[in-house]
Amino acid sequence: MKIGLFFGSFNPVHIGHLIIANTMATTTDLEQVWFVVSPQNPFKKNKSLLHEFDRIDLVERAIADNSKLKATDIEFSMPRPSFTIDTLIRLQEKYPQHAFKLIIGGDNLAQFPNWKNHEQILNYFGLYVYPRPNSEPSPLE
């Protein structure tokens, strides 16, 4: 199964997150979209986040009626901060029957070359980019 992974703190999950996930699940060849609830973003300070178990509970409630959307807490047991490539590898090891793809917003595309092992993400997993309003597309370098 081809699964899109939508990473975020989801602090809290909101309608914008749901629109992105639903759009990717219904307008692309992705069969499901999984919300990867991140305890800590390596590029952000651990500010006033709700507890991670509260955040995943909110995500699960928000997507309960949509069989194409799932939530995973896989990063909860990983070293922090968890890097996307490490989570992708962990998921691929745990679910070898699935093909995982990374979903990012167009506004994050310019920063993608700063991510840990971004070339490996592109080569082995690939990207699905969700265009954001008022965000200029920028080339990957």
End-to-end Cα separation, the chain, in angstroms? 30
Domain of residue 66: give its range: 2-50+59-130
Nearest to residue 107, comparing CAs of 2, 8, 38? Answer: 8
For residue 139, being part of any structural domain is answered with no
**Domain total of the chain:** 1
For residue 141, being part of any structural domain is answered with no
For residue 68, being part of any structural domain is answered with yes
For residue 140, being part of any structural domain is answered with no
Residue 20's pLDDT band, with cuts at 50, 70 and 90, is very high
DSSP state of 114: G
For residue 137, being part of any structural domain is answered with no
DSSP state of 67: T
For residue 124, being part of any structural domain is answered with yes
For residue 45, being part of any structural domain is answered with yes
Looking at residue 12, which CATH number applies to its domain? Answer: 3.40.50.620
Query: CA angle, corner 106, sides to 44 and 71, nearest 5?
Result: 65
Name residue 32's beta-bridge partners.
Answer: 3
Nearest to residue 113, comparing CAs of 86, 82, 140? Answer: 140
For residue 28, being part of any structural domain is answered with yes
Residue range 36-46: mean pLDDT, rounded: 77
pLDDT in tens, 76-93: 999 988 899 999 999 999
* pTM for the structure as a whole: 0.91
pLDDT at position 141 over 50: no
